[in-house]
Structure 1
Amino acid sequence: MSEFNIEVIEKKHFPQFVPVGYEEGEWISEDGRKARILEDVVLGENLENNSWSQENEDMHEVPTKNGWIDVYERERVLETTGIILGEARNTVVEFGASAGYMIEEMYRAFPENNYIATDLMVDGLRKSYLRNKNIMHIRCDFTDAPFVTKSVDFVYSLNVLEHIEDDMKTISECYRILKPGGYCLFVVPRGAHLYDYFDEMLFHKRRYAKGELLSKCRETGFQVVHNFHFAWLCYPAFWMKKKWNKRVGKRISKEEKMEMVKKDIHNAMDSSIAIGLMHLERKLSKLFSPEYGVREFILCRKM
């Protein structure tokens, strides 16, 4: 199978409008680099990927779509995105789009923008493409993003940075491709001291310590616009479970760890207690925002 040269992307890939710089060939390619475009089939051979697996992709598909924390997360992202995008036509890129549930909701909420879903995993992108053929899909490695400097208005990533060994390189790539005034949004897992077999089996390179991602974003050059944690009402129970996992993980095999992960995901996905706590948290978050939680949300701007 041959590579699809990103220098010859046709206008049909942009159903809403053509991105700035397209006519001059200066939007999505520089230095002869290439990316793989998804159409009816995936073009190009596998890219190297040591940050995720097909087993994990399959295991997470339903929880990512319907699990309480991911549903709540997408709601919070859309709330912020509405403020960012407004009525303007923007080029919006999601890296680590997986099966495309977030970008699908983004397109549905703000259809006037031009959306590009990217990921390393073929099957997730294929599933997203089959549901969202009006969204462009590119297979690429975001440590070397196939977008030219200052060509994107908004880039976001949900629970991906923790899978990347050199997260600073990826953050820098996000900064590079953004236009001045453009926004970048990250969601990551919090609690460096809570790294357990669950994180290990999901190829997490880290959980983020307090202030770690803030520092990395500022070091890159971003101005941090908004920073908060969520699932903080659930955090005490989450903390205890992670501490228990750390102890258990020392004496079980890799196979047993994976079975435990599958069980944990299944049991937590539709917890009525957790769902109730998230509804309460939505109301309380208007009054205050603790500096702890299961996940951290950071919105940055390139000045």
Structure 2
Amino acid sequence: MSFAPELADTATGFDPTRFEDLYIKEDGHYWFEPRNRLITELILRFFPACRRYLEIGCGTGFVLRGIRQVLPEANLVASEIHPSGLRHARDRLAGSDTVQFIQMDARDIPACSAFDLVGAYDVIEHIEEDELVLKEFYRSLTSGGGVVVAVPQHPFLWSQADEVGHHKRRYRRGELEAKMRAVGFEILFSTSYTATLLPLMAASRLRRRGPEPLEAILKREFDAPAWVNRLLRCILNIEVSLAIFGLKWPVGGSRVVVARKPNH
């Protein structure tokens, strides 16, 4: 189903030509795999009984596949503004008959009080009206339903990589939580992600202030040598394990927030 066909595969929020490269490189990548583990473990911790799940901006379905594994009985709705992303997501979830794929604008979710859980992982920073999107999340949830949101953090890390990624902002510490509370959400858990790699990330971003070719930016973000990729993945998996045990990292390249719509 298509609810915003006029925006399909336009340069809105993300370059749809990049889905193919993401689809190839996400599996095994030091940044994506530990983040998946953090997201799925938080879902199991806070919303193990979820039966109706909506993912906003599912991209190639990399996170969705992990959620399918931890919520095997749930009905999943995967939304994306770009049909080219949905095609890859369908390939990743091939054989699953409890996943529905829809083309949709997150600023206008065609559902009210319909889901137990909404997830948006590095999505709302691509949208100018992020507070409107958070209101739509709230409206689409049942009473007591939850949301898990991940965003890039720390404006001082802003670089050409954010511009290439069509980001509108990097969030200040506490900014996302404040916007979620203003909508009505109760914050259950909040932590940084890539806290242990923040010095490396800052060094990489801050020393490259001049223009760079797109190919150089993408290579640096996605094509680490195999041994470097293994090392960084190991470091981030240790970080994630500590977060799962309750450690809330104060700073880091990303912020992950778990919240709930109060029962009425």
Judge same fold: TM > 0.5, yes or no.
Answer: yes
Closer, same or farther: CA 268–169 of 1 in aligned 2, 3 Å? farther
Partners of 1:106 and 1:234 in 2: CA distance: 25
- Paired residue for 2:42? 80
1:237 aligned onto 2:200: yes
Structure 2 unaligned spans of 5+: none
Identity %, equivalent residues = 24
What TM-score, normalized by structure 2, do the two folds share?
0.89
Q: Is the 8 A contact 1:197 1:257 kept in 2?
A: no
Aligned Cα root-mean-square deviation (Å): 2.1
1:266 aligned onto 2:222: yes
Q: CA deviation at 1:267?
A: 3.2
- Paired residue for 2:213? 257
For 1:1-303, list aligned pairs within 5 A. 35=3, 46-47=7-8, 49-86=11-48, 88=49, 90-132=51-93, 133-134=96-97, 135-147=99-111, 149-245=112-208, 247=209, 249=210, 252=211, 256-268=212-224, 270=226, 271-285=229-243, 286=245, 288-303=247-262
Q: CA deviation at 1:58?
A: 2.6
Partners of 1:235 and 1:282 in 2: CA distance: 14
Q: CA deviation at 1:46?
A: 5.0
Mean alpha-carbon deviation: is it higher for 92-101 or for 264-273? 264-273
Could you say what secondary structure the match of 2:207 adopts? Answer: helix
Q: Is the 8 A contact 2:77 2:100 kept in 1?
A: yes
Could you say what secondary structure the match of 1:298 adopts? Answer: strand
Tell which has more relative contact order, 1 or 2 (C-alpha 8 A, sep 6+).
2
Q: Is the 8 A contact 2:190 2:248 kept in 1?
A: no
Closer, same or farther: CA 283–54 of 1 in aligned 2, 3 Å? closer
Q: Which has the larger radius of gyration?
A: 1
Partners of 2:225 and 2:115 in 1: CA distance: 34
Please give the per-residue CA displacement for 1:91-135, whole angstroms capped at 9, x wherever unaligned.
Answer: 100011011121122112221111000001111101222342521
Aligned residues: 255
Structure 1 unaligned spans of 5+: 5-33, 37-43
Q: Is the 8 A contact 2:54 2:119 kept in 1?
A: yes
Mean alpha-carbon deviation: is it higher for 285-294 or for 130-139? 285-294
Q: CA deviation at 1:176?
A: 0.7
Partners of 2:200 and 2:120 in 1: CA distance: 26
Q: Is the 8 A contact 1:155 1:185 kept in 2?
A: yes
Could you say what secondary structure the match of 2:222 adopts? Answer: helix
Q: Is the 8 A contact 1:66 1:269 kept in 2?
A: no
